[in-house]
A = this chain, B = another copy of it.
Amino acid sequence: MDKFTMEEAKSHRVGPDFRIADVDPTSTPGFEWDKEAWEREFHEHDEELDELQEKLFANGRAEVPGTGGLLLILQGMDTSGKGGVVRHVFRAFDPQALKIATFGPPTAEERRHDFLWRVRPQEPAIGQIAIFDRSHYEDVLVQRVRKMAPAEEIERRYGRIVEYERELAERNIRIIKVMLHISEDFQKENLIERLEDPAKHWKYNPGDLDDRELWDEYMEAYEIALRRTSTDFAPWYCIPGDRKKYARMAVKYLVLDALRSMNLEWPAADFDVEAELERARKA
A residues lining the B interface (CB < 8 Å): 58-59, 61-62, 83, 86-87, 90-96, 98, 100, 102, 133, 188, 191-192, 195-196, 198-199, 201-204, 206, 209, 212-213, 266-269, 271, 273, 276-277, 279-281, 283
Docked pose: A203 CA to B213 CA in angstroms: 54
Q: What residues of chain B lie closer than 8 Å to A269, measured between beta carbons?
A: 198, 201-202, 204
Q: What residues of chain B lie closer than 8 Å to A267, measured between beta carbons?
A: 201-202
Q: What residues of chain B lie closer than 8 Å to A192, measured between beta carbons?
A: 277, 280-281
A95 in contact with B93 (CB, 8 Å): yes
Which residue of chain B is the closest to A277 with respect to CB atoms?
Answer: B195
Q: What residues of chain B lie closer than 8 Å to A266, measured between beta carbons?
A: 198-199, 201-202
Docked pose: A45 CA to B280 CA in angstroms: 40
Q: Indicate whether A271 sits within 8 Å of B98 (C-beta atoms), given known contacts A188-B280, A199-B266, A283-B213.
A: no
Q: What residues of chain B lie closer than 8 Å to A199, measured between beta carbons?
A: 266
Q: What residues of chain B lie closer than 8 Å to A279, measured between beta carbons?
A: 206, 209
A268 in contact with B188 (CB, 8 Å): no
What is the count of identical protomers in the complex? 2
A255 to chain B, nearest CB (A): 13
Q: What residues of chain B lie closer than 8 Å to A59, measured between beta carbons?
A: 202
Q: What residues of chain B lie closer than 8 Å to A93, measured between beta carbons?
A: 95
Which residue of chain B is the closest to A51 with respect to CB atoms?
Answer: B199
B91 in contact with A204 (CB, 8 Å): no
Docked pose: A269 CA to B206 CA in angstroms: 11
A276 in contact with B58 (CB, 8 Å): no
A87 in contact with B94 (CB, 8 Å): yes
Which residue of chain B is the closest to A55 with respect to CB atoms?
Answer: B199
Docked pose: A201 CA to B268 CA in angstroms: 7
A95 in contact with B102 (CB, 8 Å): no
**7 more A-B contacts (CB under 8 A) besides A96-B100, A96-B102?**
A58-B203, A61-B202, A86-B94, A95-B100, A188-B283, A201-B266, A209-B283
